[in-house]
Amino acid sequence: MATINFGGVEEQVVTREEFPLDKARETLKNETIAVLGYGVQGPGQALNLKDNGFNVIVGQRKNSPTWQKALDDGWVEGETLFELEEACKRGTILQYLLSDAGQIALWPTVKSHLTEGKTLYFSHGFGITYKEHTNIIPPDNVDVILVAPKGSGTSLRRLFVAGRGLNSSFAIDQDASGKAREKVVALGIGVGSGYLFETTFKKEVFSDLTGERGILMGALAGVMESQYNVLRKNGHSPSEAFNETVEELTESLIRLVSENGMDWMYANCSTTAQRGALDWKDKFRDAVNPVFEQLYDDVASGREAKVVIEANSQPDYRAKLNEELKVINDSEMWQTGAQVRKLRPSN
């Protein structure tokens, strides 16, 4: 573990230098890693592990679109691709990467194959943290661990192929073998993490749900819509409103933030922009702070989990979800975005 100073607070992190890939492979040389689910996180983690030299199989529902995706990605039926229950039997480390709703539905099957000495791996703390709603309660004689990449499985894979990494958190809920820590760090390195920082299942899900509903997705979409609508209301064209709201952020400014921080981005904008941003930053912060406080309280209390589980348990939840997503896609703002993306230079 390396001690790093983050803004005046010291934290312990694990890097590839301290725990190299060769050590990770040696740690897991006798394990069969069964990646259960090939949706959001499954492909990136499974392919990265395979390319890094680990013994990996995939479990997925047969004849589903994601089964075909697994075949297209090079997994071989009967050799490295199996139906979910068969993968549960064969795996010694079960990477439970189905959706939260899928995890609840498949849990009786997975639990029946969690024999002594196996390891149950999550990339989200939802099922364990909200066990009173999910009924996901592992037996005492297995390790229960978590590696949560801080981004989508698509990003995890893209960065891996580019020779980079996506930072991940890790946690241990049960250490039945006495070796859970070595296993979880080895898996974190194996899936392509940039560096690993320790958390708990509860803190992971609290921060994750807050982030998704907040700045990463919900708040971002909401403030974009608000600014776009105000510009349109005041006579600006769709192209101008979209470019000023989305395109400049995603294609220019956020990349400067990623490179060297918010102050670096400010420093690379005009003094007029800097003055205005500094004057209005605190107003926006103070305006949304009560919303974030309410959001975190709903997450911590379990109310948000209850809403999610009830919605996802409806037989037509996917159809309803697609209808809601279609409203976003069909809006003037995002139809404008589709045209703007087509007009970007190809090189």
Catalytically annotated residue among 113, 124, 133, 236:
124
What DSSP string describes 231-298?
A: HHHTT--HHHHHIIIIIHIIIIIHHHHHHH-HHHHHHTS-HHHHHHHHHHHHHHHHHHHHHHHHHHHH
Tell me the C-alpha distance between 121 and 148, whole Å: 10
Which pair of structure tokens corresponds to residue 176? 């039945």
Question: What residue type is 2 in one-letter code?
Answer: A
Which pair of structure tokens corresponds to residue 185? 């760090």
Tell me the C-alpha distance between 207 and 158, whole Å: 24
Q: Are strands 193-198 and 9-15 parallel, antiparallel or unpaired?
A: antiparallel
Which pair of structure tokens corresponds to residue 74? 């090079």
Count Cβ atoms below 10 Å from residue 135 Cβ, excluding itself: 12
Q: Is 124 a catalytic residue?
A: yes
Full strand arrangement of the beta sheet holding 9-15:
2-6, 9-15, 193-198, 166-174, 143-149, 119-122, 93-96, 33-36, 56-59, 81-82
Coil, strand, or helix at residue 78?
coil
- Nearest CA among 127, 126, 124 for reference residue 110: 127
Q: Which residues are catalytic?
A: 124
